[in-house]
Structure 1
Amino acid sequence: MTTHMQAGDTPSVHTLVHLTWCENRIEHWIRFGRIAGEQRLDRHRRIVSFAPDSIFACVRWAGNAHGTITSRIDIVRAPAPGESCQTLAFVQPGGDILLRVAGWPKVETVLGAINAIEAQGIAAADVAPDHWRHIHTRVAVTEPFRTYTPEQHRAWLRRRGLRT
């Protein structure tokens, strides 16, 4: 369930993601993830928050009259308070970057992988972090990656259950 943050709220345990949407100019959006809170700044900008250890994907695209200027997708694990993390534009304090690709062909490949996972009835936010890292390394060198299977997912959920 999404809670709405008020001006001045400082959810220090949450990871904040600043999103902008100016149609056909700057489009930042969340592709998947469980949003814990949201604050609308104006009609083009909002801030969403994610609980520690949650996984989310943020897509950033910018263009002009001539087409796409830049496109990228980042799949990130939100850090726990005090946990070290990598810096990431528009994300405070940062996160554990599981996948980061730039360029529309690679972004499109990752979006296709997300769609394929969700087509199996698996929430992308629940996928094993190591699978996102695997896709990152394979897409970076333009090589095929393994398909995420329901069997792998069940094994990941069992392992995760043992760690808590």
Structure 2
Amino acid sequence: MSAKPPPKWMGHPLPDDVISDLTLVQLTWQERRIEHWIRFGRPAYERTLNRASRIVGFAPGTIFAFVRWAANGFGTVISRIDILRAVPIGAPYQTLPFVRPGGELLLKIQGWPKVERVLRMIDVIEALAIDPGDVSPDYWRHLHNRLTAGEDAHAYNWSQHRAWLKRRGVLQ
């Protein structure tokens, strides 16, 4: 009986050390062409595939921001930020390019002006000494809805964060 070949993802064999319940994200960096990066989140796994790409993995429940930007000879083709929560095996999820299997989509914004607004809101949260990965998922949904509607979003604050931490403690 022959050995089964290792599973592949994005054309690369998955390393043996990948934990099966992780949400995997392929990151690519080709200066001024393709730039995929994690803006925040705590990876539980990281593996460099080659000079231009690597895989990071997030444990179930982890919230992270995935930024994608691409350009061609005529300018920017895509600017996008997605804020997701990694899901456990068997839970429902939305699929996204470069994310396996997918995640619970909390925010999905396209277009550089709106992406830039989200990045500024993340900076404001970090200035409060709050890790954006610990922010209430409801806030990311609020931000998504307000920006999609062309409205200003409410700033996240310590009062909201304390309430979320208490609620999260009860839910666990």
Residue 63 (structure 2) pairs with residue 55 (structure 1): yes
Any conservation in 1 of the 2:18–2:45 contact (CA below 8 Å)? no
Question: Which residue number corresponds to residue 7 of structure 2?
Answer: none
Q: TM-score, normalised by structure 1?
A: 0.94
Q: Is 1:24 matched with 2:32?
A: yes
Q: Which has the larger radius of gyration?
A: 2
CA separation in 1, counterparts of 2:171 and 2:78?
Answer: 39
* CA-CA distance at 1:24 after TM superposition: 0.5
What's the CA shift string for 1:66-101, capped at 9, x where partnerless? 321110000000001111111111101100000001
Deviations along 1:17-76, one digit per CA (max 9) or x if unpaired, are: 011000100000000000111011100010000000000000000013332111000000
Distance 1:163 1:135 in 2: 23
2:107 maps to 99
Report % sequence identity.
57
Segments of 5+ residues of structure 2 without an aligned counterpart are 1-13
How is 1:1-164 mapped onto 2 (pairs within 5 angstroms)? 7-164=15-172
Query: What is the total number of aligned residue pairs between the two structures?
Result: 159
Give how far 1:126 is off. 0.2
The amino acid of 1:39's aligned partner reads R
Which residue of 2 is the match for residue 3 of structure 1? none
Structure 1 Cα separation of the partners of residues 63 and 18 of structure 2:
20
Q: Which runs of 5+ in 1 are unaligned?
A: 1-5
Structure 1 vs Structure 2 CA RMSD: 1.0
CA distance in 2, matches of 1:132, 1:22: 29
What is the TM-score normalised by the length of structure 2? 0.90
